[in-house]
Chains A and B, each alone.
Chain A
Amino acid sequence: MRWQYPLLIVFLGGLFMAVQYFVPLEFSERIYEYALDWIIIVGVFTMCLGLWSLFRVSLAKIQTKAPAWGYNYITLAGLFAMLILGPAFGIEEGKPFMTLFWYIYTPIQASMFALLAFYIASAAYRAFRARTMIATILLVTATIIMLRLIPLGFLSGPNQWAVNWILTVPNMAAKRAIAMGIGLGGIATALKVVLGIERSYMGKD
């Protein structure tokens, strides 16, 4: 009986959202927007749980001097700095909160993103080997696509034509096929959850 209430809530909620998509009436829209508002409210409260989890785990690592525990000090320092500076001084441009955001967080974020350039090169070097027929096709296709950015003189025209064909024919066909499979898989997964067939998210006693 204890598990039936959550399953009933999941079933009724899933059924309502499915039906709501096809019913354009005003009350249907209002209930949908109300549900969205509640999702946001629940999400905000779970943020507190997340912060508590981060704080507890970092503190435990500091106390037990786990490997690289110094990084946990930095984590907690950053967490409390932003938590305190925001409400204390405001979040407008020029305030400490935004200064930390623009001059510490954003450059670090951009640096992490820039690592992709190096990682793409090392991944391409390692992965694009003509081991099998399929791997060879992958290698040749990737090379043709990359060549479009290099001036090849009289070969630029045919190369661009080939790139356009690859992107608009096989690439698009494959993406559409994958998208269709994802669509069907998505419906099946949603049905499994709504009908209570898949209930591992509920945990156990």
Chain B
Amino acid sequence: MKNKFVFRNKVLLIFFLTLPFLLLGLNTSSAQEAGEVKALVDSSAQAPASPTDVVAKDAPNDNGHAIVVMWKPSADDGAGKNNVLSYEILRSDNSDTGFVVRGMVPAGTNQYLDRGAREKEDKNYFPSHKNFYYKIRAKSDVSFSESKVSAPAYAFGQWFHTGKTSIFLATAIFTFFVLLFINMAKKGKELYVRPIAGIDAVDEAIGRATEMGRPILYILGLGSAGDLATIASLTILSRVAKKVAEYQTSLLVPVADPVVLTVAQESVKAGYYDAGRPDAYKEDSVWYITSMQFAYVSAVNGLMLRERTATNLYLGAFYAESLLLAETGNIAGSIQISGTDQVAQIPFFIAATDYTLIGEELYAASAYLGREPLLLGAIKAQDWGKILIMISLLLGALAATLHFDFFVNLFRIKL
């Protein structure tokens, strides 16, 4: 009897000792179940207020592998003893379970761009056209709270980047001007373009070389065949080659890019053909040296000093080697005409060469030399484009001063 009494008391003791923990476990599990439907609050410490109004939508102007998540910050953001320190952005492909952290932003932020790779094999692959659900976790230093789950959102690509609208419109307007003036030139309208000293000097420089019996050196610069300055220089080269063929002078064209080599050879050959002297064209007059900047300059400088070229034409994309070329040409006693769109090198050419084509004058030079109406039309279009830009600048300065933001915002670009 006594043993039964002791045993019963032991059981009761064990039961009452474990009861609080059982009750706690029940409460916790019910809180967990509730948390999957409503906002989860960590009950072990004072949690900050939850963020609200979580909205997820497709990120605009992209390739369809990003979603923007926005929310209203927690009431404890930036204040109070439950001060929010950061937000975690959680994502799942269903509204109930499987949420993983996608990123973290500091307090004070109410937006996050969830993006990933477009390749399926990539670990960070972000599928497009697939629904995702988001929730935001506000974290203080000891606790956290979560928002409700957002409505589903999926990422998709856009056909037109609206942030580049102003670029598109400006390009379209300018293209219209180019086509308009080319059309006017085709119909025989006389188009006046101002004289440029450097371009007028090309004829004189070629004549000088012929009289002295020394060759002409033409440097296309260090740009690739895709650079606009190189393209412009190649078009000038064919016109120079035509004049050189007419004057029966020799032309040397060392190049620094193999693709440019092939195009330069065709340009020079075209010039000789236009002059009616295809037999005078020597393929070895256009040759490749090296693509390394200072090795190329060393070779060209040596060539200038040995051949004592009468005329040096530096037309294209140049970098640090511009002054090395120009000064060596000066030592050799050559007349020098330069032109580049590299703004940093223009001062060196102005100081060291006889004539300089600044920026767009290089692009216009081929039209000046050939005097073809279609090409002159493009120059007139550039002039009108500049007038439009000047008017926009003046209006924009006035609008910004008067806080007329609508006009200023028309020119904004969001890449």
Contacts and interface: CB of A to CB of B under 8 A. Distances in A.
A–B direct contact (CB < 8 Å): yes
B302 A71 contact: yes
Interface string B164-175: 100110010011
A54 B257 CA distance: 12
Interface stretch (B34-42, B49-57, B87-95, B264-272): B264-272
Contacts of B411: none
Interface string B333-350: 000000001010010101
B12 interface: no
Interface in A55-92: 56-57, 60, 67-68, 71, 75
B207 interface: no
Contact of A109 (B175, B266, B273, B295): B295
A5 interface: no
B351 A204 contact: no
Residue among B62, B175, B269, B363 having the largest count of chain A Cβ atoms under 10 Å: B363
B382 A185 contact: yes
Given A24-B62, A46-B261, A204 B378 contact: no
B294 A67 contact: no
Given A25-B158, A68-B306, A201-B235, A188 B324 contact: no
A135 B327 CA distance: 19
Interface string A23-56: 1111011000000000100110011111101101
Given A191-B378, A203-B267, A127 B259 contact: no
A182 interface: yes
A42 B259 CA distance: 8
A163 B339 CA distance: 27
B226 interface: yes
A12 interface: no
B386 interface: yes
A113 B179 CA distance: 45
A42 B258 CA distance: 10
A24 B346 CA distance: 36
B302 A68 contact: yes
Contacts of A57: 284, 287
A24 B261 contact: no
B231 A56 contact: no
Contacts of A192: 374-375, 378
A22 interface: yes
Chain A at the B interface: SS class: helix
B386 A180 contact: yes
Contacts, number: 205
Chain B at the A interface: SS class: helix
A204 B269 contact: yes
A201 B178 contact: no
Contact of A182 (B297, B298, B327, B359): B359
Interface string A98-111: 00000001001100
A205 B298 CA distance: 35
B157 A25 contact: yes
A179 B343 CA distance: 8
B245 interface: no
Given A49-B261, A180-B386, A185-B382, A120 B323 contact: yes
Given A178-B343, A185-B341, 17 more contacts: A22-B161, A24-B61, A25-B157, A53-B288, A54-B289, A67-B307, A108-B294, A109-B294, A181-B360, A185-B228, A185-B360, A189-B232, A191-B175, A197-B182, A200-B234, A201-B263, A203-B265
Interface of B: 61-65, 118, 128, 157-161, 164, 167-168, 171, 174-175, 178, 182, 224, 226, 228, 231-232, 234-235, 237-239, 257-259, 261-263, 265-267, 269-271, 273-274, 284, 287-295, 297-299, 302, 306-307, 320, 323-324, 326-327, 330, 341, 343, 346, 348, 350-352, 358-360, 362-364, 366, 374-375, 378-379, 381-382, 385-386, 389
26 contacts: A18-B171, A22-B160, A22-B161, A22-B167, A24-B61, A24-B62, A25-B158, A46-B262, A54-B287, A57-B287, A109-B293, A119-B323, A120-B323, A126-B330, A127-B352, A178-B346, A181-B359, A181-B360, A182-B343, A184-B385, A185-B360, A188-B174, A188-B379, A198-B375, A201-B234, A203-B265
Interface of A: 18, 21-26, 28-29, 39, 42-43, 46-51, 53-54, 56-57, 60, 67-68, 71, 75, 105, 108-109, 112-113, 115-116, 119-120, 122-124, 126-128, 175, 178-182, 184-193, 197-198, 200-205
3 interchain residue pairs of minimum CB distance: A203-B266, A50-B258, A185-B360
